[in-house]
Amino acid sequence: MAGTRKPVVEVRRSQRRRRTVSAYRDGERVVVLIPDQFSRAEESEWVDRMLARLAAREGRLARSDDELLARATRLIDLYLDGYGARAVPASVRWVTNQNGRWGSCTPADRSIRISHRVQDMPDWVIDYVLLHELAHLIVPSHNARFWALVGRYPKAERARGYLEGVAAASCAPLPT
Ligand SMILES: [Zn+2]
């Protein structure tokens, strides 16, 4: 393995953002989302801060609730960007009491729960399950509009096949 390298950073400015800064890893790159009004000095200060935070988070908290929220932020940025606050959950957490489903979403309080049974699956499957629930914040039912949103994720079909395979092998339920 190579030693520690400074990652390539891509800064994205957003007019929608007021004060919040967030960051996520995308392959070799780190994407940092900042408000459009930030000065260059603020930008560089926040990039350093977010890189340190990301490194700490990755070292300490693999697949924790914080990591799940960072994952949600990245998925919203990539696939649900036009929906603004409507796509942003109030809470995202891993739960162990959800044997009937892979994930669930309560649009009324904007909370999302993901079953711990998904925790050991590949990243691209976790992303699908999470994006599915995020899309329910925008469209609660499984109608054509909903599936069009989920279909923005390139591996949606493959992930559904993966989950169906796991369900068939373990008598677990089909993805909801
Ligand atoms: Zn669903």
CA 176 – ligand 1 centroid, Å: 4
State the pLDDT confidence band at 3, using cuts at 50, 70 and 90.
very low
Write the pLDDT tens digit of every residue in 55-102.
776 665 567 888 899 999 999 999 998 898 889 999 999 998 876 789
Q: What is the DSSP secondary-structure string of 127-163?
A: HHHHHHHHHHHH--S-SHHHHHHHTTSTTHHHHHHHH
What are the tokens at 14? Answer: 């957003």
CA 23 – ligand 1 centroid, Å: 27
CA 142 – ligand 1 centroid, Å: 6
CA 100 – ligand 1 centroid, Å: 13
CA 79 – ligand 1 centroid, Å: 17
What are the tokens at 162? Answer: 């993966």
pTM: 0.68
Q: How many helices (H) and strands (E) does the chain have?
A: 5, 6
CA 132 – ligand 1 centroid, Å: 6
CA 20 – ligand 1 centroid, Å: 29
Short-list 48, 67, 71, 55, CA closest to 131: 71
Tell me how crowded residue 22 is: count the other CB atoms within 10 A of its CB: 18
Write the pLDDT tens digit of every residue in 100-151.
789 999 999 999 999 988 988 899 999 999 999 999 999 999 999 999 999 9
